[in-house]
């Protein structure tokens, strides 16, 4: 393919060099003359393993050159990668000035492009969800006078390389994500990655934009978490690397998809208690651990969010399906749904609850003590089956993933509303009838 790469920084130079190595004809574009001159003389404008040799070989082979002329690059290529910077503003917001400018320039050049083959513009820079549809596409359309998806293609293809191992990461990425406006444009871009052995995921523009931020937030969280664990270990005289090596060997619950689906708050007899104990121990050792100490408050906010969602329609008759701390157990200790029920009662709601696993008469020990301390009259609120909850409630709350609740969305009366903490259905939230906690 004939490819143009706009922005010859870390991402652009590596992309330009590697696409040329793959056999494509590449034109790099940058307003900084020194970068253009460096490439054209066979040198990389960035320090990065392997890239200097790649640029030298590709320029020599005639497959890579650079220019500061945007129009020329658009005229002579069929696919453009945008790799300009997206830095922070002083208030933390994303600074899109380079993205806006490059879209005006590319759009202006597309206006005069007469080639019959459709040109595709691929944004590789990191951009917040909505940027493609609300900023990139409108600017490209306005400045070109053409229609995205019809007269030219548009994709988002976030970059996952890490400086220091950028060429290796380009060749061996953890995944390739293509956010597409339409299937044909995505398919065209996908052919570039045919030889790369990594999962190729084609999805909506906004999902692709978001995944990159989730990745980077997760990586940052992992580092901060590990460092705080290291600080605790040091204060306890423990080898933190030994601890974390063992932690990482657990690939069922620790380094795995477990616990990574958004939903309602956690609870139960272990997580809150153990977090509190570790945080207290750290405090005794004079440690400040902002990440560890933020977990319980974040969880409490999710309880408050759930309560707010239930209350937002002003309904007073509430039915709760599933209130043990998760499906398949009768353990009520620190169940966040119990916390919600308690607050609903406190707000004067008329509540009925059902959980097939919970029989108050059979509860024992700490579990029995917990519920009787929190809602002593819970037995009076409990009903025998799902139907009794549905008969009573204006708003029905599904508290856990008991498979018996899956039919509930289809059994609601016209005026009834469902608040779903467990994603028992894939319906879309916000139609006044159905609200998911975070979907």
Ligand X SMILES: NC(=O)c1ccc[n+]([C@@H]2O[C@H](COP(=O)([O-])OP(=O)(O)OC[C@H]3O[C@@H](n4cnc5c(N)ncnc54)[C@H](O)[C@@H]3O)[C@@H](O)[C@H]2O)c1
Interface region with ligand X, contact rule CB under 6 A, candidates 58-66, 101-109, 289-297, 375-383: 101-109
Site size for ligand X (CB under 6 A): 26
From 48-56, 97-105, 366-374, 385-393, give the range in contact with ligand X by CB under 6 A. Answer: 97-105
3-state SS of the chain: helix, strand, coil percent to 5? 45, 15, 40
438 is catalytic: no
Q: Is 3 in the site for ligand X (CB under 6 A)?
A: no
CA atoms within 13 A on the CB side of 348: 2
Which residue is associated with the tokens 């494509």? 24
Binding mask 62-91 for ligand X (x = CB under 6 A): ---------------------xxxx-----
Among 34, 41, 95, 101, binds ligand X (CB under 6 A): 101
What would the two tokens of residue 280 be? 């207290």
Task: Please choose, out of 100-108, 299-307, 364-372, 392-400, the segment that lies near ligand X by the rule CB under 6 A.
Answer: 100-108
Distance from the Cα of residue 5 to its chain's centroid: 27
Q: For residue 123, what is the enclosing H or E element?
A: strand 119-123
* Annotated active-site residue in 233, 270, 349, 438: 270
Q: Which is nearer to ligand X, 126 or 302 (CB)?
A: 126
Residue whose C-alpha is closest to residue 103's, from 246, 6, 238, 204: 6
Q: Does 149 bind ligand X (CB under 6 A)?
A: no
In sequence order, what are the residues at sequence separation of 6 or more whose Cβ sits closer than 8 angstroms to the Cβ of residue 88? Answer: 94, 95
The H-or-E segment that residue 312 falls in is: none
Q: How many CA atoms lie within 13 A of 30 on its CB side?
A: 24
Question: What's the longest Cα–Cα distance across the chain?
Answer: 83
Site for ligand X in 292-311 (CB under 6 A): none
Please give the structure tokens belonging to residue 52.
Answer: 């200097």
> Is 5 or 390 the residue whose CB approaches ligand X more closely?
5
Binding segment (CB under 6 A) for ligand X, from list 9-17, 232-240, 298-306, 320-328 = 9-17
If the CB atoms of residues 163 and 387 are measured against ligand X, the closer one turns out to be 163
> Catalytic residue positions?
270
Which residues contact ligand X (rule: CB under 6 A)?
6-12, 29-32, 35, 83-86, 98, 101-102, 105, 125-126, 159, 161-163
């Amino acid at each position: 393919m004939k490819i143009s790469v706009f922005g010859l920084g870390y991402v652009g130079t590596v992309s330009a060099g590697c696409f040329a190595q793959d056999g494509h004809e590449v034109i790099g574009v940058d307003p900084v003359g020194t970068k253009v001159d460096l490439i054209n003389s066979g040198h990389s404008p960035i320090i990065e393993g392997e890239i200097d040799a790649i640029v030298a070989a590709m320029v020599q082979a005639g497959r890579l050159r650079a220019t500061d002329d945007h129009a020329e690059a658009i005229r002579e290529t069929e696919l453009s990668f945008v790799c300009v910077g997206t830095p922070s503003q002083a208030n933390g917001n994303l600074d899109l000035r380079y993205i806006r400018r490059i879209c005006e320039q590319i759009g202006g050049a597309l206006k005069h492009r007469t080639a019959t083959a459709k040109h595709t513009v691929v944004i590789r820079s990191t951009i917040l969800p909505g940027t493609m549809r609300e900023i990139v596409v409108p600017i490209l359309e306005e400045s070109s006078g053409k229609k995205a998806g019809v007269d030219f293609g548009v994709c988002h293809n976030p970059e996952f390389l890490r400086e220091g191992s950028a060429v290796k990461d380009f060749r061996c990425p953890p995944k390739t994500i293509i956010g597409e406006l339409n299937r044909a444009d995505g398919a065209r871009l996908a052919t570039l990655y045919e030889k790369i052995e990594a999962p190729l995921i084609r999805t909506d523009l906004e999902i692709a934009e978001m995944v990159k931020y989730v990745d980077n937030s997760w990586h940052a969280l992992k580092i901060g978490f590990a460092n705080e664990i290291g600080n605790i270990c040091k204060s306890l005289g423990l080898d933190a690397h030994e601890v974390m090596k063992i932690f990482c060997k657990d690939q069922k619950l620790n380094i795995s998809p477990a616990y990574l689906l958004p939903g309602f708050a956690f609870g139960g007899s272990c997580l809150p208690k153990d977090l509190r104990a570790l945080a207290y121990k750290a405090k005794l050792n004079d440690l400040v651990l902002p990440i560890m100490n933020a977990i319980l408050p974040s969880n409490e906010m999710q309880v408050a969010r759930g309560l707010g969602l239930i209350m937002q329609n002003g309904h007073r008759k509430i039915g709760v399906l599933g209130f043990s701390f998760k499906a398949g157990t009768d353990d009520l200790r620190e169940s966040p749904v119990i916390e919600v029920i308690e607050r609903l009662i406190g707000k004067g709601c008329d509540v009925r609850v059902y959980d097939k696993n919970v029989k108050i008469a059979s509860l024992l020990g700490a579990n029995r003590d917990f519920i009787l301390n929190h809602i002593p009259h819970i037995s009076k609120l409990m009903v025998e089956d799902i139907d009794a909850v549905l008969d009573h409630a204006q708003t029905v709350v599904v508290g856990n993933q008991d498979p018996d609740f899956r039919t509930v969305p289809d059994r609601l009366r016209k005026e009834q509303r469902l608040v779903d903490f467990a994603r028992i259905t894939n319906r879309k939230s916000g139609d006044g009838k159905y609200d998911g906690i975070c979907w």
